[in-house]
A = this chain, B = another copy of it.
Amino acid sequence: MKRLPPKDQLTMGIHALHSLLLHAPDRILHVFTKPTETQKRKGALLDLCKEKGIPVSFVSLETLDHMAGSDSHQSFVAHVQGRHFYDVDSFLERIEEESKAIVLMLDQIFDPQNFGSILRTAECLGAAGVVWSKNRGSDLTPVVAKASSGASEWLPLIRISNLAEAVTQFQDDGFKALATTLAPHSQDGFKFSFHQKTLLILGSEGEGIQPLIQKRADSLISLPMQGKIESLNVAQAAAVFLTLYQMQNGK
C-alpha cells in the first residue's frame, strides 16, 4: 500500500463493519483484512463486501495494527468516506423544522470506549446529534468508531472548538441546557420536566463539567444513586437521561 488512510477516516471490528455494510455500505471505500480468514463469521463479512461491490485488500496483521493504531480490530479495518462534521449553525439549520430534539454535549470525555458507547446509545435512543470539542475530549479514532457500532458514520456529529460558546448558541435557538452534575442544588433527573429542546451536557467521571459551562446551563440535574457507588459510568448515565427525556418527549 502506498499510503495509509488517515485515522479519522477509519473504522474497525466485526460488529461495526457489519453494521455499516447493512445500513450505510456507500460510506465504505475499502476494507482491509488478513489473508486466510477462515472463520465462518468473517467469511460472511467478506461475502457481504463482495455483494456490495466494496474492494477488499489483504494485508499483514502488522499493517492492520499500524493502520488502526490498535490491535483490537478483529482483523478488519475499513476506510470510510471522510466524515461530515457540523458546526453549531449548520446543525441548528438541519434541525430547524423539528419541534423536539435532544442533543448531547460531551465535555472532557477522553476515554474512547465511553465516547463510542455514547455515540451508539445516542443513535439508538434518538438523540439528534452529539457535540464535542476536539480540544477537550477524545478524537474520533478507530477505537471510538468501533465502539459506536456504526453510529459514528451516520449520527450527526458537531465537532467544534469552543463548548461554552456553543451552549449559548443552542440557548439562543430555543434549547434549554442541562448540566448533569452532582451539586447541592442539582435537581432529580427522575422528576425533572425536560424541555422539548434539550442540550444535555455530560462530563467525565474524573473531571466533571468545566465550571464555565456549568455556569451557562439553565439547570443542573443529577441521578440519585440508590446504592453506595457515587455515580454511573457516563455512557450509562447518557442512556438513563435519554430514556427519561424520551419518556416525556418520545415520538
Interface residues of A (CB under 8 A from B): 19, 22-24, 117, 120-121, 123-126, 149-151, 154-155, 190, 223, 225-233, 235-236, 239-240, 243-244, 246-247, 250-251
B residues less than 8 Å from A23 (CB atoms): 228-229
CB A129 to nearest CB in B, in angstroms, measures: 12
CB A130 to nearest CB in B, in angstroms, measures: 12
- Rounded to whole angstroms, the CA-CA distance of A235 and B147 in the bound complex is 13
For the complex of A and B, 5 pairs with smallest distance between CB atoms: A126-B226, A123-B227, A23-B228, A239-B239, A243-B243
- Rounded to whole angstroms, the CA-CA distance of A230 and B149 in the bound complex is 10
Within 8 Å by CB of A239, from B24, B154, B236, B250, lies: B236
Q: Is the CB of A117 within 8 A of B151?
A: no
- Rounded to whole angstroms, the CA-CA distance of A66 and B194 in the bound complex is 49
B residues less than 8 Å from A240 (CB atoms): 125, 239-240, 243
Q: Is the CB of A232 within 8 A of B121?
A: yes
- Using A120-B236, A190-B250 as known contacts, list a sample of 17 further A-B pairs with CB atoms less than 8 Å apart, ordered by residue number in A: A19-B228, A22-B228, A23-B228, A24-B228, A117-B236, A120-B229, A121-B236, A123-B229, A124-B223, A124-B227, A124-B229, A124-B232, A124-B236, A125-B240, A226-B251, A232-B239, A239-B239
B residues less than 8 Å from A22 (CB atoms): 228
CB A100 to nearest CB in B, in angstroms, measures: 12
Within 8 Å by CB of A228, from B123, B233, B239, B251, lies: B123
- Rounded to whole angstroms, the CA-CA distance of A228 and B229 in the bound complex is 33
17 example contacts (A-B, Cβ-Cβ < 8 A) are as follows: A19-B229, A23-B229, A117-B236, A120-B232, A121-B233, A123-B227, A124-B226, A124-B236, A125-B226, A125-B232, A149-B233, A150-B228, A154-B228, A155-B227, A235-B236, A236-B239, A239-B239
Q: Is the CB of B117 within 8 A of A229?
A: no
Q: Is the CB of B190 within 8 A of A246?
A: yes
* Most chain B CB neighbours (cut-off 10 Å) among A123, A155, A190, A226: A226
CB A15 to nearest CB in B, in angstroms, measures: 8
- Rounded to whole angstroms, the CA-CA distance of A123 and B236 in the bound complex is 12
B residues less than 8 Å from A124 (CB atoms): 223, 225-227, 229, 231-232, 236
